[in-house]
Amino acid sequence: NTNFPELIWYNGKIIPWQEATVHIVCHAIHYGSSVFEGVRCYDTPKGPAIFRLQEHTRRLFDSAKIYRFEIPFTAEEINQGCKDIVKDNNLKSAYLRPFAFMGAHNLGLNPPKVPLETSIIALNWGSYLGEESLEQGVDAAITSWNRLAPNTMPTGAKAGGNYLSSILITTEAKRHGYVEGIGLDSNGCISEGAGENIFVIRDGVINTPPLTSGILPGITRSTIMTLAKEMGYTVNEQAMPREALYLADEVFMCGTAAEVVPVRSVDQIKVGDGTRGPITEAIQKAYFGLFNGTTEDKWGWLSYIND
Ligand code: PMP
State how far the Cα of 253 lies from the Cα of 51, in Å rounded to an integer.
Answer: 18
Q: Is pLDDT of 2 > 70?
A: no
Residue 303's closest CA among 48, 39, 36, 43? 48
Alpha helices by DSSP H, the chain: 27-31, 53-66, 75-88, 133-136, 163-175, 219-230, 243-246, 278-292
Is the pLDDT at 267 greater than 70? The verdict is yes
pLDDT band at residue 4 using 50, 70 and 90 as cut-offs: confident
CATH class of 7-123: alpha beta
Minimal CA–CA distance to 248: which of 272, 280, 278, 265? 272
ipTM, two decimals: 0.99
133-292 CATH fold: D-amino Acid Aminotransferase; Chain A, domain 2 (3.20.10)
Report CA-CA distances (Å) from 279 to 166, 176, 199, 234. 28, 29, 11, 12
Q: Would the CB of 216 count as within 6 Å of ligand 1?
A: yes
**174 assigned to active site:** no
Task: Indicate which residue's Cα is closest to atom 5 of ligand 1.
Answer: 195
pLDDT at 246 over 70: yes
Q: What percent of the chain has pLDDT over 90?
A: 94
Q: Are 99 and 34 in contact (CB under 8 A)?
A: yes
Catalytic choice (83, 113, 158, 298) = 158
Per-residue pLDDT tens over the stretch 9-47: 999 999 999 999 999 999 999 999 999 999 999 999 999
* Cβ atoms within 10 Å, residue 16: 10
User: Is the Cβ–Cβ distance between 28 and 80 less than 8 Å?
Assistant: no
Distance set, CA 188 to CA 143, 144, 223, 225 (Å): 11, 11, 26, 24
Per-residue pLDDT tens digits for 178-233: 999 999 999 999 999 999 999 999 999 999 999 999 999 999 999 999 999 999 99
Give me the pLDDT at residue 126, please: 81
Return all residues near 141 (Cβ < 8 A) that are at least 6 apart.
173, 176, 178, 181, 182, 266, 267, 268
Pocket test for ligand 1, best of 197, 215, 252, 253 (most atoms within 8 A of CB): 197
Q: Where are the domains of the chain?
A: 7-123, 133-292
